[in-house]
Structure 1
């Protein structure tokens, strides 16, 4: 039995992915958000020595809470412009990385090259 391919449809990865976009935002797929306990709010952390960005689940009323904005329940976005400037993190290229979980912190290692994302929207 044939089925119609829906134009533009893609399979979502079953592993966590985080993309740091050159425009200063971060995208998390649903698996990465699941590692954070499906939270809607995070605190941003940075380990200068290891060059690792951390996201920790947060309560909405925390003074350091950032809201994750969802897109069709498959992609969550957070703006990092001031964070990236403060820590002088280079985002001249958009790169996708596989995060790790350390205790309750989702970690993105900037020393790992990741995969270059070449999109007009990145």
Structure 2
């Protein structure tokens, strides 16, 4: 069997959308997650309490509920979510963890009950 070259992007899950919840109250997105949303400059944050799903959808700059999505590194993006996390009283146990995400009807859905193993 021939050798396969390990690509650094695979270490951070660049081939499928990931969202991390940082202890400082930020959501981090990998390139795949950013691209899945259509590379937006602004997003709105949503929460489905019954399903325990965080939703992120692209937003217009003039939306009063829009948060600016900023580039953090060459392969990651961040949005401030401290007020969102506090308002919905999301458990501290999700802080510092990564979750897989998928697009559904224009919303990047993040199931916080299913952590991605490191």
Q: Which runs of 5+ in 1 are unaligned?
A: 1-9, 117-122
Q: Runs ≥4 in structure 1, deviation > 3 angstroms?
A: none
Structure 1 residue 79: Cα displacement: 1.2
CA distance in 1, matches of 2:62, 2:31: 23
**Length-normalised TM-score, structure 2:** 0.83
In terms of fraction of residues, the more strand-rich structure is 2
Deviations 1:63-117 (A, max 9, x none): 010001102442101111110000000134411111011110001101113336x
**Length-normalised TM-score, structure 1:** 0.81
Question: 1:82: which partner in 2?
Answer: 83
Segment drifting more, 54-63 vs 91-100: 91-100
Q: Which runs of 5+ in 2 are unaligned?
A: 1-6
On the 8 A contact 1:100/1:107 being kept in 2, the answer is yes
Matched residues, number: 107
CA distance in 2, matches of 1:69, 1:113: 24
